[in-house]
Amino acid sequence: MSSEFRYQRRVQFAETDLAGIVHFSEMFRYMEEAEHAMWREAGLTIAERGSDLGWPRLNAALEFRNPLRFEEEFEVWVRIAELKTRTIEYEFTLVRGQTVIAVGTMTAVCVRKLPDGTMRAAEIPASIRHALEAL
């Protein structure tokens, strides 16, 4: 559960803004891309077709240390800090070479979607828990 997964990425043009650097909101997308790649590494998908499970975010936070620019290659290091009954707490570090771009956290909660479209927090299924713990 404490092992780290590393996701590689390159900055795309549309992710930059008029300041010439990656827009900060894109960094949150990078976080999530790394999370989902980690799930694939565990043999899982965060959005299984036909499933009533969902994983909305309870919170997300980033500290920005250095800018990222067009075409730069970087990595997102993601680690599960805590796997609770219903929530997963992730820790992230974005790095370009030896330079830390950003550090942050995100918490996802396991929910079941009800027929009326609302969501109710639910226990993380054992199969998912075990696959994530085995990373």
Point out the residues that are catalytic: 17
Scanning 15-23, 81-89, 90-98, 122-130 for contacts with a second copy by CB under 8 A, the matching segment is 15-23
Exactly one of 52, 71, 123, 133 binds a second copy (CB under 8 A); which one? Answer: 71
Determine, following the binding rule CB under 8 A, whether residue 46 of this chain makes contact with a second copy: yes
Least distance to a second copy, CB of residue 23, Å? 5
Exactly one of 33, 75, 89, 91 binds a second copy (CB under 8 A); which one? Answer: 33
HEC string for the chain? CCCEEEEEEECCHHHECCCCCECHHHHHHHHHHHHHHHHHHCCCCCCCCCCCEECCEEEEEEEECCCCCCCCEEEEEEEEEEECCCEEEEEEEEEECCEEEEEEEEEEECEEECCCCCEEECCCCHHHHHHHHCC
Determine, following the binding rule CB under 8 A, whether residue 43 of this chain makes contact with a second copy: no
**CA 135, CA 110: separation in Å to the nearest integer?**
19
Determine, following the binding rule CB under 8 A, whether residue 23 of this chain makes contact with a second copy: yes
The residues that touch a second copy, with contacts defined as CB under 8 A, are 12-14, 16-21, 23-26, 28-29, 32-33, 36, 40, 45-47, 49-50, 54, 56-64, 67, 69-71, 117, 119
